[in-house]
Structure 1
Amino acid sequence: MDVFLWVVQILLGAAFVLSGIGKFLPLSERMRQQQAYRDDFTDAQIKAIGALEVLGGIGVVLPWATGIAPVLTPLAAAGLGLIMIGAALVHRRRKEAFTVNLVLLAMAVVVVAGRI
């Protein structure tokens, strides 16, 4: 079970760190069309979400890996789960697919349940 949790944690952390970093980069026209939800938010809000994603992605792996404040790992996973609930609601309101959000939410729930 521990190996499974590590795999989920690393995948979840990598997904959020990469997604968060992507929110700080300028968008090409093609990417802007794929991420039309960004029109609902200000640039500052997008960057804040990106910062939370990067911090959560790091927090879901690093505390447990180092043994320093490992209680932060399930808390970070819970925070990422809340971000995914919000993201799913935004995509649902826009009538867009939100399957990826639900998969990431499920991964976050697995980490929370497994690391408490």
Structure 2
Amino acid sequence: MNLALWIAATLLAVVALAGGITKTFMPKEKLATNPGAEWTQHASAGFVKTLGVLELLAAVGLILPAVLGIAPVLVPVTASCWVLLMIGAMIAHVRYGPSRFALLNVVYLAVAAFIVWGRFGPESFTA
């Protein structure tokens, strides 16, 4: 179970890192031309960059606290925040873009919920 949680956290961190880099460093106009990013046409550049920074922080928060052994409770807290972020992403994709991307957000949400359940529950770092 611990290995599965580490794999899930790593995969989610990679997704968060990729999304964060794209949203933070790619110009909004160019980002809006990518499949799944049509919603950015309806958002300010600052909002998109803020989401990108939050995703970069999520990538760090899913891995680094546990690896360093410093406040490892931040891993499930970060995963909980990711669940909320994915709810917002699903709403944006259904409202503004191809809704098929909302299904991908459901998968990311499920992975994050698995991490929350596992790290707050049976495979807690404090147990």
Q: Give the TM-score of the pair, scaled to structure 2.
A: 0.84
Q: CA deviation at 1:102?
A: 0.5
Provide the rounded CA distance (Å) in 1 between the counterparts of 2:29 and 2:41: 14
Paired positions, count: 116
Q: What letter is aligned with 2:105?
A: N
Offset at residue 96 of structure 1 (A): 2.1
CA RMSD of aligned residues (A): 1.7
Q: 1:57 aligns with which of 32, 35, 59?
A: 59
User: CA 1:48/1:27 → structure 2, altered by over 3 Å: closer, same or farther?
Assistant: closer
Matched-pair contact (CA < 8 Å) for 2:89–2:105: yes
The answer on 1:96 being equivalent to 2:106 is no
1:26 Cα deviation from its structure 2 partner: 3.1
Q: Which amino acid aligns with 1:84?
A: M
| Cα offset, 1:92, TM superposition | 1.3
Q: Which runs of 4+ in 1 moved over 6 A?
A: none
Q: Which runs of 5+ in 2 are unaligned?
A: 121-127
Q: TM-score scaled by structure 1?
A: 0.92
Aligned to 1:8: 8
Percent identity for Structure 1 against Structure 2: 35
CA distance in 1, matches of 2:71, 2:30: 42
Mapped to 1, the partners of 2:27 and 2:85 lie a distance apart of 22
In structure 2, distance between residues paired with 1:30 and 1:62 = 28
Deviations for 1:25-72, whole angstroms, at most 9, x for unmatched residues?
A: 236858615221111110000000000011011101111111100011
Unaligned runs of 5+ in 1: none
Structure 2 contact 28–45 (Cα < 8 Å) conserved: no
What code does the residue aligned with 2:12 have?
L
2:2 alignment partner AA? D
Do residues 26 (structure 1) and 27 (structure 2) align? yes
Is 2:107 the partner of 1:106?
no
